[in-house]
Amino acid sequence: MKKYSWLLALVLGLPLGIQAADKITPPPDAQPVPDGAPTAKDIEEPQITIRNKGTHREEEYRLHGKLYMVKVTPPKGKPYFLIDTTGNGKFVRHEGPAVPLSVPEWVIKTF
C-alpha cells in the first residue's frame, strides 16, 4: 500500500491543480507572444565598413552602432579577426570568425 501512496496523492491532487490554473489571469498590460521564427524584417543586419589601410584591408562590423568585430586581411598570409568578446572595448585576436569554445570549469565536489 505504501508503494502506491504517491500515486493516490497525485490523483487526488490533480483536480486541485487544474482548478488553480483556471483562476490565473494575465496582467492587464500583457502582450501576446508572436508565433513562429523571426522574419527577415525582424533580424537586424550588421553595418560593415571596409577600409584599405596601406597594404592591408580592415572590415569593421557594427551592430546598433557598436563595433564588435574587425576582420584584418594582410597582403600575405591568412586573415584574422579582432573580436570584442566581453563588450568592454578590448579586442582579442582569433584566427577564425567563431569565438573559441569556452568550457565551464565549475567545481561540483572535492574529495
Residue 65 lies in a domain: yes
- Tell whether 100 is covered by a domain: no
Total domain count for the chain?
1
* Residue 18 lies inside a defined structural domain of this protein: no
Q: How many CA atoms lie within 13 A of 24 on its CB side?
A: 5
CATH code, 81? 2.20.130.30
Confidence of residue 21 (pLDDT cuts 50, 70, 90): low
Domain that holds residue 64: 47-94
pLDDT in tens, 35-84: 777 777 777 888 999 999 889 999 999 988 899 999 999 999 889 999 88
Average pLDDT of the residues in 28-33: 80
Whether 75 is covered by a domain: the verdict is: yes
Domain presence at residue 19:
no
Residues 6+ positions from 56 with CB-CB distance below 8 Å = 72, 73, 74, 75
The answer as to whether 110 is a domain residue is no
Let me know if residue 70 belongs to a domain.
yes
